[in-house]
Chain A
């Protein structure tokens, strides 16, 4: 398992948190900490996740990006910045 923290901006649409959380559970991603708070017109979601061995964070980020209500994945931890 590798741990990462992600922070994203979500559109304020009904069900958006469920969609993100279901993506985690469908893809075998463990959520270790999660917080959601308003950020202007949007919502900011900060989450710490643990990935199965061999699964890449970059791929998870792309899977999150394809959710229609995910506006931005603003900050991710250094391991992603390095492309790990």
Chain B
């Protein structure tokens, strides 16, 4: 016996290539923290809240394409990981959470800091383990990493009772765990190619799976060879360059008019790594009514879940797109289809009005940020209006440059995700585009960033309100603003002072003429994190919009303007 269960854990993590753990120690995980102190391969980032550790692991995973790791003690430490686990489950992010657990002898006795975290997280983890024999640790860690990263990626929990960590053990490296990749059916691929060849109004409906599988380059080839229009969902922004003329933007509730129209009027959807989420489809019976559907996904459970697929293809997007590239030859004549879509593109470009009261337009801030920070930066966001503007007004040119919480919609995601992304991509500029509400949920990780030398940049889109909720109150509750005012315009808190208190540079901007200067100033700060409080108008709204529960044909380019609906009436 040359080590302990804890020692075996750290060596096993080193052997699977873990280079950073985001976590916080406590009683039941203390044994693991002891050998961690001596590891030269693994950096530990001490967070201020375990939720931050989980989101940081997600940000790291998405920025690097590797498995992110977070660690927490039993009980409250573990329960604080619940939100990031649920988030990673919804957005298929590969993370491994290692939690301490009370000793085996007292499990089930309501021992101090006991929580049955495996049961709590059953519906939100891809898989979980509780290790009962220290000899199993290397194999469990290898398997946990393989499960997290393979197939449809997702979160895996490894729960380690304290006595298992302390027990003497011999470290025997586990053989690398590998999990197969489904073979793509050539028959299905040929059927898809046939549909493509005979379609008149095809569209590539691209989802986050294309980014997870690293298939953006293959997609670029397929799209440019065929000339077919492309739309990228919230999770797929950057999977196809925004600057490319075939790109129509984001579909869905706050999508562009041409992207939504492309889906609605299509005769063929080629859906790649996407799950027909309700935020994209709107009312399902009204979604893409005349389209045949080719649906490729690694997860067979997603195919035909919300919309029946005419040609289902189970497989990794990289394999599927490569197979399509090999067989697609004839491409349809798309002239009249493009005429129609280009017409919409020029009539209904994404745009905004300046607030009548002279306040700063939030969309302008994000547009300038995109221009000045550029496509090589990584952008993260919270959840709300600022998230939608970040999806609409930042120009994404490469995969994994936009990291946000799509499926779960977790406020507070931006700052810790940016921290994780910055650790994974130290040479990139990382901007968290955050809301004044979201920021107040997780800004304590800025202390982590300041102390650990993780120089993220935060743009708070401070509209004084829980803006997205307020927008719904404006539109659907007669302007009765129940509990959406944050008072952040009255400087409670004062974000500049807060930034200073957290060891960051704090800047403020409320005038159009100052925006570029402030961004440039923030870009010049390299020795610590920066927070910019962009004080913007409270009444700006996110447009276009498909009201929840309605059909996509009712998309409003702006309030009361329904281009597709009116087109139908003509």
Kindly state whether residue B152 has any CB partner on chain A within 8 Å: yes
Distance between A64 CB and nearest chain B CB, rounded to angstroms: 9
Contact B130 A26 (CB under 8 A): no
Contact B147 A66 (CB under 8 A): no
Contact B126 A68 (CB under 8 A): yes
In-complex Cβ contact of A22 among B123, B152, B304 (8 A)? B123
Contact A62 B126 (CB under 8 A): no
Q: Which residues of B from 279 to 309 have beta carbons under 8 Å from A?
A: 299-301, 303-305
Q: In whole angstroms, how far apart are the Cα atoms of A56 and B301 in the complex?
A: 11
A14-B130, A15-B118, A66-B152 in contact; A56/B304 too (CB < 8 A)?
A: yes
A-B contact count (CB 8 A): 37
Q: In whole angstroms, how far apart are the Cα atoms of A62 and B300 in the complex?
A: 6
Kindly state whether residue A65 has any CB partner on chain B within 8 Å: yes
Kindly state whether residue B122 has any CB partner on chain A within 8 Å: yes
A15-B130, A68-B147 in contact; A63/B301 too (CB < 8 A)?
A: yes
Q: Which residues of A contact B200 (CB under 8 A)?
A: none
In-complex Cβ contact of A59 among B123, B147, B304 (8 A)? B304
Instruction: Name the CB-closest residue of A to B123.
Output: A26
Distance between B281 CB and nearest chain A CB, rounded to angstroms: 15
Among A18, A62, A63, residue most surrounded by chain B Cβ atoms (within 10 Å): A62
Kindly state whether residue B119 has any CB partner on chain A within 8 Å: yes
Kindly state whether residue B74 has any CB partner on chain A within 8 Å: no
Distance between A26 CB and nearest chain B CB, rounded to angstroms: 4
In-complex Cβ contact of A68 among B122, B127, B152 (8 A)? B127
Q: In whole angstroms, how far apart are the Cα atoms of A23 and B122 in the complex?
A: 8
Among B128, B301, B305, residue most surrounded by chain A Cβ atoms (within 10 Å): B301
Q: In whole angstroms, how far apart are the Cα atoms of A56 and B305 in the complex?
A: 8
- Chain B contact residues, majority secondary structure: mixed
Contact B119 A23 (CB under 8 A): no
Contact B122 A18 (CB under 8 A): yes
- Chain A contact residues, majority secondary structure: helix
Distance between B102 CB and nearest chain A CB, rounded to angstroms: 16
In-complex Cβ contact of A66 among B118, B123, B130, B299 (8 A)? B299
Q: In whole angstroms, how far apart are the Cα atoms of A26 and B305 in the complex?
A: 15
Q: In whole angstroms, how far apart are the Cα atoms of A22 and B118 in the complex?
A: 12
Q: In whole angstroms, how far apart are the Cα atoms of A63 and B126 in the complex?
A: 11
A19-B122, A22-B123, A68-B147 in contact; A59/B299 too (CB < 8 A)?
A: no
Q: Which residues of A from 22 to 71 have beta carbons under 8 Å from B?
A: 22-23, 26, 56, 58-59, 62-63, 65-69
Distance between A31 CB and nearest chain B CB, rounded to angstroms: 15
Distance between B297 CB and nearest chain A CB, rounded to angstroms: 11
Distance between A8 CB and nearest chain B CB, rounded to angstroms: 15
Q: Which residues of A contact B123 (CB under 8 A)?
A: 22-23, 26
Distance between B372 CB and nearest chain A CB, rounded to angstroms: 43
Q: In whole angstroms, how far apart are the Cα atoms of A67 and B125 in the complex?
A: 10
Q: In whole angstroms, how far apart are the Cα atoms of A68 and B132 in the complex?
A: 19
Among B127, B151, B152, residue most surrounded by chain A Cβ atoms (within 10 Å): B127
Q: In whole angstroms, how far apart are the Cα atoms of A14 and B305 in the complex?
A: 30
Distance between B570 CB and nearest chain A CB, rounded to angstroms: 34
Instruction: Name the CB-closest residue of A to B299.
Output: A66
Among B122, B126, B147, residue most surrounded by chain A Cβ atoms (within 10 Å): B122
Instruction: Name the CB-closest residue of A to B152.
Output: A66
Distance between A1 CB and nearest chain B CB, rounded to angstroms: 19
Q: Which residues of B contact A66 (CB under 8 A)?
A: 126, 151-152, 299-301
Instruction: Name the CB-closest residue of A to B118.
Output: A15
Contact B126 A65 (CB under 8 A): no
Q: Which residues of A contact B299 (CB under 8 A)?
A: 62, 66
Instruction: Name the CB-closest residue of B to A15.
Output: B118
Contact A15 B128 (CB under 8 A): yes
Q: In whole angstroms, how far apart are the Cα atoms of A59 and B305 in the complex?
A: 7
Distance between B301 CB and nearest chain A CB, rounded to angstroms: 4
Distance between A12 CB and nearest chain B CB, rounded to angstroms: 13
4 nearest A-B residue pairs (beta carbon): A62-B301, A22-B122, A26-B123, A68-B127
Give 14 CB contacts A-B under 8 Å: A14-B132, A15-B118, A15-B128, A19-B122, A22-B123, A56-B304, A58-B304, A59-B304, A62-B300, A65-B300, A66-B152, A66-B301, A67-B127, A68-B147
